[in-house]
Amino acid sequence: MTSPAYFKSCANTSNSWTTGNLSWDLPPKPVNADNYDTAKLLWGQMGPYVAKNVGAFRCPADKYPGAKGTRVRSISMNGFMGDTDNIHGGLNPGWRRFLVTSAITAPVPSMAWVFLDEHPDSINDCLCSVIMTGSTWTDVPASYHNRAGGFSFADGHGEIKRWRDGKTVQPVLHTNPSAGNQKSSPHDIAWLQQRTSSR
């Protein structure tokens, strides 16, 4: 994130961290141009910071092709980072949104995730939705790395998290939503909630 400016996490404007809405487009579905449009990746606020390296938006372990090859993005942003009240205001009332980096105090930056690898069947818009109460997935993280997924945190470090719950680790079926959506994964969701936001 930038300060004092802030990201609109998912608007299809240059105020977003990136733009485009992914979906599966294998025949007989029509081709989704957003799946392959690298210009849309760079149009958002992250574009200038990656030196036009579109590979920064996709985990190399995501090898699941759409109609025209691998999709351009496998990474989603924490839905509490940036101006996402239109998405999270009704789902998570009373939980903190982080509009500038200086606001990331609880959880502290080393515990607050900003980006993650999202499951190929779950990824669509540019944020990952986490419901802060209960133990049910809305969006599902990826498990490309031997039942584990990649995270980057607000202090700049990255981690690979190995998932404990079997319902978190789901096969890629080329369908949306993921088979893990609406499944309960109490250990894994609690881990993610602790690193997503606070009251």
The pLDDT value given to residue 82: 83
User: Is the pLDDT score of 158 beyond 80?
Assistant: yes
- How many Cα atoms within 13 Å fall on the side-chain side of residue 11? 13
User: Is the pLDDT score of 89 beyond 70?
Assistant: no
Confidence of residue 5 (pLDDT cuts 50, 70, 90): very low
**Chain CA centroid to CA 104, Å:** 18
Q: How far apart are CA 177 and CA 109, in angstroms?
A: 30
Instruction: Map out the domains of the chain as residue ranges.
Output: 33-194
pTM for this entry: 0.91
Chain mean pLDDT for the chain? 90
Nearby residues of 22 by Cβ (< 8 Å), 6 or more positions away: 32, 34, 35, 71, 73, 123, 124
Dihedral over Cα of 53, 58, 62, 63: its sign: negative
3-state helix, strand, coil in the chain (%, to 5): 20, 15, 65
pLDDT digits (tens, 9 = 90+) for 34-44: 999 999 989 88
Over residues 4-28, the mean pLDDT reads 73
Cα-Cα-Cα-Cα torsion 77, 175, 63, 9, nearest 10 degrees, comes to -10
Most confidently modeled of 2-16, 70-84, 96-110?
96-110
